[in-house]
Structure 1
Amino acid sequence: MKELIRKFTMGHPKQMTEPVIWYFLEGFTVGFPAVAVYFAINLFITYFNNPSIIFDKGYWNIALWLAGFFLLQLTVSTVTFLKTFLPGALNSAQNKKDFIQKIKRLPLGFFSKTRSGELINTFTGDFLAIEQGMVGSFTGLFGVVFSCILTSVFMFWFNWKMALAFYIALPISAIIILISFKVLGNLIVSSRTAKDNTAEALNEYLSGMKILRSYNQIGKGFSKLEDAYKNLKDISIRGETLGGSFLGFALTFARAGLPLMCFAGTYLIVGGEIGLTEFLSIIIIGTKIISPLLTWIRYTAILRMQYVSATRIDNVMRKKELGGEKSIQVKDLGDIEFEHTGFSYLPEKNVIDDISCTFKKNSLTAIVGPSGGGKSTILKLIARFWDVKSGSIKIGGVSLNEINPDQWLKHISMVLQEVYLFHDTIRENIMFGNKNATEEDMIRASKLAGCHEFIEKLPEGYNTIVGEGGSTLSGGEKQRISIARAILKNAPILLLDEPTASLDSKNEVLVQKAISNLVKDKTVIMIAHRLKTIKNADKIIVLDKGRIVEEGRHSELLEKQGLYARLWYLQNKSKEWKISL
């Protein structure tokens, strides 16, 4: 039970305290009047035998007590609703916020292993399921159980034989529910997985519409989505059929208690053990028990499905975060040092292996080399998207693992190969780098990045809405806006992953001038395939197969006649190539 409560409350068990208390009170106000009916019927029968009792003061006292209890029941039920559903919605909102904060602190490796469809369904469907549990099936179960127990105690006290007959079929219901847990357990998990696959297929279909159209594969792409929906439909039908059958049988055996009790009561009347008054009183109590009893069974079945959702959320919340609590100030930012650093995305293959190098403060260091050599990985390790597997990365002598990730990222601006722009105005996409920047600052950054001119030519200028991911802009335009965003942030450390790769010659020159200006008082680490763009770098590091094979200035590396010199020769040679028609 403790583990169940922890998962449903995401580690905040106090969220259940108030709802459970009110559900207990509601269970009491529901159960006790049902017991009072026993005495009311006795008085009713007595009234027919002696009509003058209506003038008896005690009779009216009991009537007032009953009326008071029904009024109390109405009040408690109303307050219970207010004390469970409103706090439940607020707690759910807070739990979602905690979930987002948790995701933000996870390494990017988590996202490479977790599909977007799974996270979307977790944030929507799974959170909705546990919210319903927290305001109904889980917390409400306590009140329903208490009401059943309270009423059952009195029923056994009044006549244990009729009470036993009422519950004699209940163990069969319990066995059916337990069997359903075993049978449906894997099916519930499969249903959640099928929903993840469907969300993933839909997201992939919509995001990849351009590619599907360009290759005339829209039908094939839709077939994948259709197959995902068909699989979800088949699993849902199996789940509803089996689940409905199990629940139907369980409820049927639970309902059998009332006719069995009537049969036992009739036998006792014939035998002279009880009178008609007692028989009717206990039957009415039984009718009052049956409703919460059936609710108990339904809640238990629903709780099994909600537990799967709670477990999925808990699995994310228990993932290991990027550690580090130290804060670091701009004045303390020194050289970035890699000391025998190793990292791998997969256990069997290192992407970078035993790298030791220094990125000097306030200088431009370029990283070059063949594709797949680990260049982008180095930038992502510096940004602490992942933690290193071996060795260390130090900033001014402080291990990067000891620095708070959120605080560290405030000191970094990044321009990656894969540019993502939000579905918003160009202005907001650039200002995302620095919400406190002025309009003049934003325009200056845009000019430095070489994007001001084309933005001004758009019908709405900086107020132009870009599609999700920047789908309405060309690759070069997105890249320049991304550079403007990084310039505007004005962080002391600038990480550039091939920032000129998508630019034409004219804009490439503009961006190179901007980068030259940025080097002043900044630590710039830049990946480049076009070697001419980093000729003037303070240091060039050459990577090959995850290892540093050369480092030095441009002229020094050419003199070594190594890998860098060969790459330089090949790039210059390719300019002479012409396509024959």
Structure 2
Amino acid sequence: MFRGSNFVKNVNTMLPMRQKTSTFNLLRSHIGKKGGLMPFSIVLSVLGNLIGMIPFVCVWLIIRLLFTQGASASGNEIVRYAWWAFGFSILFILLYFTSLMLSHLAAFRLERNLRYSAMQKAVHMPLGFFTKNSTGKMRKVIDDNAGIIHTFVAHQMPDLAGGITVFVTTLILMFVFDWRLGLACLIPLVIAFAQFYLMMGKNYAATMRQYMTSLEAMNAEAVEYVRGIPVVKVFQQTVYSFKRFYDSIMDYNKWVKEYSASMKKSMSVYTVAINGFAFLLVPLAIILIFIGGNWQQVSLNLIFYVLITPFFGQCIMKLMYVIDGYRQAGEAVKRIEAMTDEKQQLVTPRPSTPMPAIYDIRFTDVSFRYDGASKDALSHIDLIIPQGKTVALVGASGSGKTTLARLIARFWDTGRGVISIGGVNVKQIHPEELMKHISFVFQNTELFKTSIRDNILYGNPDAVPADIDRAIELAQCREIIDKLPAGLDTKIGTEGIYLSGGEQQRIALARAFLKDAPILLLDEATAFADPENEQEIQQALRRLMHGKTVVMIAHRLTSVTDADTIVVMEQGRIIEKGTHSQLFQKKGLYRRMWNEYQQSVQWDIRKTTKYA
């Protein structure tokens, strides 16, 4: 019955905000110019379904001729009815095909507009939105739900119009031929609609929402699982090791089983009723004949009902799926819009005065709490990072280092306090302008499956070849590129060409050199590098950091000893500040961290055997 696809955890609480807007209005707002095709599609569907009933009448007329006239029936008349049945069948196919073609054109445009609109809104989301929500989740919410909406518009909207037409027309014909047999047809019809109401009752919207949430969670986790298959194979893991994926499968499995079990009685009764017209018609026809009815007329009418009721039952079954599709489409539109209705990044008009030439960074009583969290991730942060100086953030995992650094680039907006660059509140700087002045080098380097050249050019799309070559030399990438089959034009991820973590990091550094932004954010830039690559990366980093305002995060304390200021964080607060020598002499948290780090570096495993 379902043909659909957890995203943001508050999606369910957001959805009721849009309940007052009908699904058709939501679809109309996105369909664009191709929306004019839908009325034509609906009209053709109505005409096609009406014409599609004529062959049944023609077959009945042939049977009536044979039944009433027997061997003396006119062969020419029978052939004429047969040709009519054939001709109207062909016309029905042509009209229905044209109707579907027009509805598909409108549906493709609607699907394209929904995806485009969602991605346009995603562009204006704060960067923190993308760290909180995986690409797998985003893809599933946008892609799968757009597909559900496409199916409804392309197939089910024409079927809705045609189905209602056939339902009303057939119901009228049933009473025109024999009102007594027509009344008999109402009995299974009433039973079917009663069961349909039970299945599609007031709880159905909540049920559909739960279904789609469960399916989206499983699909999103599946994407993340597939991306981690190399790790699965290397460490001989199974799906059970990926708890979130396994739990999402079990949750979906449990929900579907329970829902299916709750529906089996109603669905069984509905199916039997909708296909059980003959069980009432035949006994009633026999009774009518025995009480003195015209046996020929009653028999002919019965034959008509036997011919038309399967078509009628199929029409009602199709209407049930159309209503189900309508509910799914409405839910799908709301889910896409719920995602894109999350708090978007405040975009201020471009400043009338140029950006200041001073790139010092100042935190003034800054506090920040993640959505849904019970306590602040950062609390009352006061910090000055002078222009051209390097500030290192150290502390245990979860102390707020990464959050502090990312607030500079407006991954999120602060809940309290002000972050300023050159005396200008970052909220007053247009996001595009802000991004021009900040470079990032993270521990998880993102390289796209395109050429090395294109990956480097993301730093500055307008760079000339000489600038690219200089960035490559500064980032210590020349030896990497020289060993690739097509040099800079080698595409990553094709024909077995992949780069190690350290090599990817050096390509990311080349990108940062090409951008040459005055502010540099480094988050565990050497975390995944082997010793050889780490040395190359450290040399490149020293060149990249020269003359820039740098905020660096590192767990390897040896990499921060040369920083102008080391900021020690614990539970979202700044505990200590100073140079390496100053903090070492204080014998505080930094001194303890340094001693523990040195012990971990010197620690090794020794195994005593009879040979040693």
Is 1:144 the counterpart of 2:169? The answer is no
SS of the residue 1:12 aligns to: helix
Contact map agreement 2:459 2:514 (CA 8 A) in 1: yes
2:573 pairs with 547, 556, 572, which one?
A: 547
TM-score computed with the length of structure 1 as normaliser: 0.76
**What corresponds to 1:252 in structure 2?**
272
Q: Distance in 1 between matches of 2:89 and 2:105?
A: 24
2:317 pairs with 294, 298, 315, which one?
A: 294
Is 1:78 the counterpart of 2:78? The answer is no
Deviation at 1:413, TM superposition (A): 1.8
Q: Cα distance 1:194–1:567, how it changes in 2: closer, same or farther (>3 A)?
A: same
Contact map agreement 2:368 2:377 (CA 8 A) in 1: yes
2:582 pairs with 558, 568, 578, which one?
A: 558
Q: Cα distance 1:480–1:55, how it changes in 2: closer, same or farther (>3 A)?
A: closer
SS of the residue 2:159 aligns to: helix
Deviation at 1:481, TM superposition (A): 1.8
Deviation at 1:415, TM superposition (A): 0.9
Contact map agreement 1:141 1:296 (CA 8 A) in 2: yes
Q: Deviations over 1:515-546 (max 9, x none)?
A: 21x53xxx544445647757474x66554443
Is 1:200 the counterpart of 2:221? The answer is yes
Deviation at 1:227, TM superposition (A): 7.9
2:192 pairs with 163, 173, 177, which one?
A: 173
Q: Distance in 2 between matches of 1:366 and 1:402?
A: 24
**What corresponds to 2:342 in structure 1?**
319
Contact map agreement 1:170 1:253 (CA 8 A) in 2: yes
* Equivalences for residues 413-428 of structure 1 within 5 A: 413-428=439-454
Contact map agreement 2:401 2:569 (CA 8 A) in 1: yes
Q: Which letter maps to 1:163?
A: G
Contact map agreement 2:129 2:411 (CA 8 A) in 1: no
Q: Distance in 1 between matches of 2:424 and 2:278?
A: 73
**What corresponds to 1:509 in structure 2?**
539
SS of the residue 2:38 aligns to: helix
Q: Which letter maps to 1:514?
A: L
Q: Distance in 2 between matches of 1:55 and 1:368?
A: 96
SS of the residue 2:522 aligns to: strand
Q: Distance in 2 between matches of 1:205 and 1:18?
A: 40
TM-score computed with the length of structure 2 as normaliser: 0.73
Is 1:354 the counterpart of 2:380? The answer is yes
Deviation at 1:80, TM superposition (A): 0.6
Deviation at 1:512, TM superposition (A): 0.5
Q: Cα distance 1:420–1:532, how it changes in 2: closer, same or farther (>3 A)?
A: closer
**What corresponds to 2:116 in structure 1?**
97
Deviation at 1:311, TM superposition (A): 5.0
Q: How many residues matched?
A: 568
Q: Cα distance 1:383–1:295, how it changes in 2: closer, same or farther (>3 A)?
A: same
Comparing 131-140 with 271-280, which one deviates more in the overlay?
Answer: 271-280
Q: Which letter maps to 1:379?
A: A
SS of the residue 1:436 aligns to: coil
SS of the residue 1:495 aligns to: strand
Structure 1 gaps, min length 5: none
Q: Distance in 2 between matches of 1:156 and 1:18?
A: 35
SS of the residue 2:511 aligns to: helix
Deviation at 1:464, TM superposition (A): 4.9
Q: Distance in 2 between matches of 1:46 and 1:220?
A: 69
SS of the residue 2:366 aligns to: strand
Contact map agreement 1:414 1:486 (CA 8 A) in 2: yes
Q: Deviations over 1:400-419 (max 9, x none)?
A: 34555456434432112332
Q: Deviations over 1:264-283 (max 9, x none)?
A: 56656755599557776676
Q: Distance in 2 between matches of 1:561 and 1:158?
A: 103
SS of the residue 1:152 aligns to: helix
Deviation at 1:148, TM superposition (A): 1.5
Q: Cα distance 1:102–1:295, how it changes in 2: closer, same or farther (>3 A)?
A: same
SS of the residue 1:332 aligns to: coil
Q: Distance in 1 between matches of 2:249 and 2:133?
A: 20
Q: Which letter maps to 2:582?
A: L
1:26 pairs with 23, 39, 45, which one?
A: 45
**What corresponds to 2:418 in structure 1?**
392
Q: What is the root-mean-square deviation in Å for CA atoms of aligned residues? A: 5.1
Q: Which letter maps to 2:394?
A: G
Is 1:430 the counterpart of 2:449? The answer is no
Q: Distance in 2 between matches of 1:213 and 1:491?
A: 39
SS of the residue 1:419 aligns to: coil
**What corresponds to 1:9 in structure 2?**
27
